[in-house]
Amino acid sequence: MVQGHERADCLIEVHNLTKRFGQKVAVDDLSFEVQPGAVTGFLGPNGAGKTTTLRLILGLAHPDKGTATINGTPYQRLRAPMREVGALLDAKAYHPGRKARNHLLALAQAGHIPRRRVDEVLGFVGLADVAGRKAGTFSLGMAQRLGIAAALLGDPGVLLFDEPVNGLDPEGILWVRTLMQSLAAQGRTVFVSSHLMSEMALTASHVILIGRGHLIADSSVEDLVKRSSGSFVRLRTPNDDLVAPRLVAAGANVQADGDGALMVSGLDQSAIGDIVFQAGVPVHELSLQEASLEEAFMELTRDDVEFHARHQPVAQAGAPQ
């Protein structure tokens, strides 16, 4: 693709973006920027408004308020949109009766992109052998690859992927992860939505977290973990009753983890180690447990999940009102 291309300006800017569907506010006064040269995760529980935001950025939906621009221009006004932006929204956005190559050819022609590029991207995503097959016969994994091929047709500096690893096998997931990282390493802007924190922990260096349409966090992955309060030290000794009172006296919060160990917070590892040594108790484990990104995510979005499971007694649920 393009080497030495100036990609420094490839950014996505969203200002006060708002979108309502009837009474429901899908995107609520959302503002953020996505910078080039990194994979930025776009996270939120299902129904948080991620897809709607992406559709607003891409001009497929009209905002009620606010703006979304790519390199300073709204998508609809880009001169050659496919060469600036590539997007994978719905993997199966093709006619099932059309051959994969013809599907890409029609898109390439619409974007004034040379025909040979179609076979290049097909080879690149590993679909060269099945290019003559009807796209309707493709598995979900192949469909994702075809969607990615379409996004890469114009060799764009800005890429948006909506849940690109959904339904992929482990090999496919690894491939998408590697691809996104290498695209970012080339200086492109890569914006990837997911409802799976664990996936973003492996791929993204920066995350934009939304819940119920509004911004919860816009930070690096490390900062997000630090922000969450879930870190503690796991202490395993044969004599908890000797150690615990001393730790509490030193200002720590001590809880049993139910597995024979203590969860200690409020003191760091060395302070805890010193106290245990003074108590003359052998140490079996003394380890720092950092909250995973997953836990940080759960904690930050707890109030912003649209649908909570309801815990109702079964008998009551069936009872007459």
Partner 1 sequence: MTQVAQAMTAPLPVAGRGPEFSDTVRSEWTKMRTLRSTPITLAVTAFIVIGLSALITLAVVANQNRPETSARRNPLSIIQSGWGLGSLAFEVLGVLMVTNEYSSGLIAETLLATPRRLRVLLAKVSVFVVLVFVVAEVMSFINFFVGHAIISAYAPFPNVALSDHNVLRAVIGNGILAVLVGLIGLSLGAILRHTAGAITASVAVLFVLPLVLMALPTSWEQPVEEYWPTQAGSQLEEVTRQAHALTAWWGTGDLALFVLVLLVIAGYALVKRDA
Helix, strand and coil in the chain, % to nearest 5:
40, 25, 35
Q: Cβ 129 to partner 1, closest distance in Å?
A: 15
Q: Cβ 181 to partner 1, closest distance in Å?
A: 9
Q: Which residue number, 128 or 283, has a Cβ lying nearer to partner 1?
A: 128
Question: Site residues (CB under 8 A) for partner 1?
Answer: 1-3, 55, 58-62, 75-83, 85, 87, 89-90, 92-99, 102-103, 105-107, 109-114, 117, 120-121, 123-124, 126, 150, 154-155, 178-179, 182-183, 186
Only one residue has tokens 């097909």, namely 122
Q: Which residue number, 1 or 25, has a Cβ lying nearer to partner 1?
A: 1
Q: Cβ 155 to partner 1, closest distance in Å?
A: 4
Q: Cβ 286 to partner 1, closest distance in Å?
A: 39
Our CA angle for 216, 220, 221, nearest 5°, is 90
Q: Which amino acid is at 310?
A: R
Q: What is the CA radius of gyration of the chain?
A: 25
Q: Which residue number, 41 or 86, has a Cβ lying nearer to partner 1?
A: 86
Report residue 10: phi and psi, to 5°.
-80, 80
Q: Cβ 122 to partner 1, closest distance in Å?
A: 11
Q: Which residue number, 98 or 236, has a Cβ lying nearer to partner 1?
A: 98
Alpha-carbon distance of 115 to 127, in angstroms, equals 16
Our CA angle for 24, 26, 30, nearest 5°, is 135
120-124 long-range CB contacts below 8 Å, 24 or more apart? 121/149, 121/150, 121/152, 121/153, 122/149, 124/149, 124/152
Q: Which residue number, 151 or 293, has a Cβ lying nearer to partner 1?
A: 151
